[in-house]
Structure 1
């Protein structure tokens, strides 16, 4: 029994080690290095290997430490170095040399030593789908400007922004970057770069993503009001509490600073009592409206499968609700501006109307109630909804779908 327990322990230990290694891969590089001594030449070769793998600038770094692995050697040249990565490498080298093999060392005519080295460089692989398959959007905190709620504005801002992050993430059309609390990131960074961290963890550095687009905005007003329905004079009436809100937001292209989409959303949400759980629910409802406005403006829902009158749609229950009705449009020919040559839109033919009957986390099911539907057809809200600034919330879209489920916006080159 004791042997069985030891075996089980070793098995799970091995599985844990193998699982930890799954996020890393080894890149092999054969490179040449030069120096006045053999050691300098080998260090120069290792630096060159790192530069080729990571494309980083290592000027000024005179040596590279090798972590936890023996140094292989051939011929009469034997070298062995086992030490922690130096501070300069921690700052400039986003990973580490697992081990290396000296293939040849010779002295050139000018007296310079040339070392040919095969280096094994550990590289961190981001888990899951590559973030490069989707456009990256950073969501910054939405500050609350005016409110009559007896809660700190900072807390209200935090709850509202988190609701928006949740709904934008569930669209699966963007890689969402959280910019709300950098303190956690820097705390983890301190752990990874600390003296007690495994050198392998340094390979995770240098992977932090920059945004293609910024979603920024403000909660201009958030006020609690009491509403009376019915007639007090006649003796039948009810009172309820509502949250009235006004939110402004815009999508900005980070590289150019151009405002690509902007809108203001106003309305009210009914709440039973003003407390944190009910505020979270109210903020989720507002966030869902913003998410629909932004996403439907640039990337309307599409039909992904049809079985008779049953239609499958590529948006889930964070974006669609049971009972939502959509007009179904078939995409036609490309239209271009004759003067600028700019792509304007596809022609669209109305072919039917559908109603959402079921929703799931990643997709929804609808029923054709008029006409027909086909795979690839675009869905737009059945009734035209006009935003407070007079613009349409379901403007037509000329979006190109990227491999992996992402989206290339109309203004992307």
Structure 2
């Protein structure tokens, strides 16, 4: 029994190791054959090696290339082999581990020699922990706010948008704001004070596919004090411009302007952060619905499952996808015919999955869903402080 438990623990430990970073070593060997004729054995070998190299490198050497040196002329077998290998490395600027003579025949007018040369290459590559980034598009979120006064608070919105995109699990969200910290760690790796394999962590930085520019055009805030509770509430109207640019071509793929009213309540840190989360949720939802419309991943036990975190209470209309429609002039696909299949409401969520109940119709796996509004997330409803007092002995004063 103890052995079984130990085996399970070791298996779990081995599985967990795959989640961590490591350096993978790969060794490959290329081979090429050559044939040569000569009046002497050395001349035939010389031409056979030249022929093999020309086959491996596409004819960069002629068969009359001479590799003979003093050590060859000495006739010592060990020196002869070393001389040829050194000469091959010099002529090809490559690393050859060895060569082998396949056959050597004496003919009526000299020698015929056949050889095979071996080029062994060892490469090391850093494997980042976690899932591969290859299946996701990369994006950078920049704060493009121009107004110096507004820029004092705009980084809060930038960070909130970054968080939302990360939670969507649809993008590789790249960092460009903490260069100093990155350079400091890079300097440590290059200092020689770390293990030699640590250097393979360098030169793995991802370049972006998209650039998201978020610019707070303005914010107009107003504070009011309740006559009943004495609490001060801050409400603001915020205007935010945002655009998604394809880095490779500088094409603007998506652009919009958000104008919304937000209740920052008492203006405390938590209330301010919650207010900006409402704004960022609207922006992130808009971008995700444009690039990655919400799609039903599965349906189990009458629950609709999505592979991203969605706020409980959010409601969506779902559509079955039909034929692709193309623009009659550009011939580019502009979208697919959508036929409503039903409506859903998010009932619970985890850091990676969300679950919804079907409120109307009959949705199926693969349907796309678009926001209806009315939920607690994505900024569809704006929070409001209660403006009432509980009176002694019971009863409520509503304040109006």
The bucket for the TM-score relative to the shorter chain is 0.5 to 0.7
Q: Deviations over 1:348-372 (max 9, x none)?
A: 1112112222222222221212211
Q: Which residue of 2 aligns with 1:181?
A: 178
Distance 2:165 2:173 in 1: 7
Q: Deviations over 1:310-349 (max 9, x none)?
A: 2222331xxx322222111111122223443311221111
Tell me if the contact between 2:234 and 2:265 (Cα under 8 Å) persists in the aligned partners.
yes
Distance 1:239 1:21 in 2: 49
Tell me if the contact between 2:320 and 2:341 (Cα under 8 Å) persists in the aligned partners.
yes
Give the 3-state SS of the residue equivalent to 1:140 in structure 2.
Answer: strand
Tell me if the contact between 1:352 and 1:368 (Cα under 8 Å) persists in the aligned partners.
yes
Give 1 or 2 for the bigger CA radius of gyration. Answer: 2
Distance verdict in 2 for CA 1:112–1:193, change over 3 Å: closer
Give the 3-state SS of the residue equivalent to 1:208 in structure 2.
Answer: coil
Give the 3-state SS of the residue equivalent to 1:206 in structure 2.
Answer: coil
Displacement of 1:196: 1.5
- Does residue 352 in structure 1 map to residue 342 in structure 2? yes
Q: Which residue of 1 aligns with 2:203?
A: 206
Distance verdict in 2 for CA 1:114–1:123, change over 3 Å: closer
Matches within 5 A, 1:117-266: 117=97, 118-143=120-145, 145=147, 147=149, 153-154=151-152, 156-227=153-224, 240-266=233-259
Distance verdict in 2 for CA 1:273–1:236, change over 3 Å: closer
Distance 2:213 2:246 in 1: 11
- Does residue 315 in structure 1 map to residue 295 in structure 2? no
Task: State the TM-score, normalizing by the size of structure 2.
Answer: 0.64
Q: Which residue of 1 aligns with 2:22?
A: 23
Task: State the TM-score, normalizing by the size of structure 1.
Answer: 0.62
Distance verdict in 2 for CA 1:114–1:328, change over 3 Å: closer
Q: Deviations over 1:71-109 (max 9, x none)?
A: xxxx958xxxxxxxxxxxxxxxxxxxxxxxx9972546x
Tell me if the contact between 2:219 and 2:237 (Cα under 8 Å) persists in the aligned partners.
yes
Q: Which residue of 1 aligns with 2:276?
A: 283
Give the 3-state SS of the residue equivalent to 1:131 in structure 2.
Answer: coil
Displacement of 1:126: 2.0
Give the 3-state SS of the residue equivalent to 2:338 in structure 1.
Answer: strand
- Does residue 332 in structure 1 map to residue 329 in structure 2? no
Distance 1:276 1:290 in 2: 21
Displacement of 1:254: 0.3
Tell me if the contact between 2:19 and 2:129 (Cα under 8 Å) persists in the aligned partners.
no
Q: Which residue of 2 aligns with 1:382?
A: 372
Q: Please list every run of 5 or more consecutive structure 2 residues that lacks an aligned counterpart in the other structure.
A: 1-9, 32-76, 98-119, 375-379, 381-400
Q: Which residue of 2 aligns with 1:59?
A: none
> Aligned-pair RMSD on alpha carbons?
3.6
Distance verdict in 2 for CA 1:103–1:339, change over 3 Å: farther
Distance 1:323 1:112 in 2: 68
Distance verdict in 2 for CA 1:306–1:195, change over 3 Å: closer
Matches within 5 A, 1:6-45: 23-30=22-29
Distance 1:255 1:132 in 2: 17
Give the 3-state SS of the residue equivalent to 1:132 in structure 2.
Answer: coil
Distance 1:107 1:147 in 2: 69
- Does residue 270 in structure 1 map to residue 258 in structure 2? no
Displacement of 1:382: 2.7
Displacement of 1:284: 1.9
Tell me if the contact between 2:314 and 2:373 (Cα under 8 Å) persists in the aligned partners.
no
Distance verdict in 2 for CA 1:241–1:296, change over 3 Å: same
Q: Deviations over 1:122-165 (max 9, x none)?
A: 221122222121111111234362658xxxx44x2333222111
Displacement of 1:221: 1.8
Distance 2:91 2:225 in 1: 94
Q: Which residue of 2 aligns with 1:304?
A: 297
Tell me if the contact between 1:327 and 1:382 (Cα under 8 Å) persists in the aligned partners.
yes
Tell me if the contact between 1:310 and 1:368 (Cα under 8 Å) persists in the aligned partners.
yes
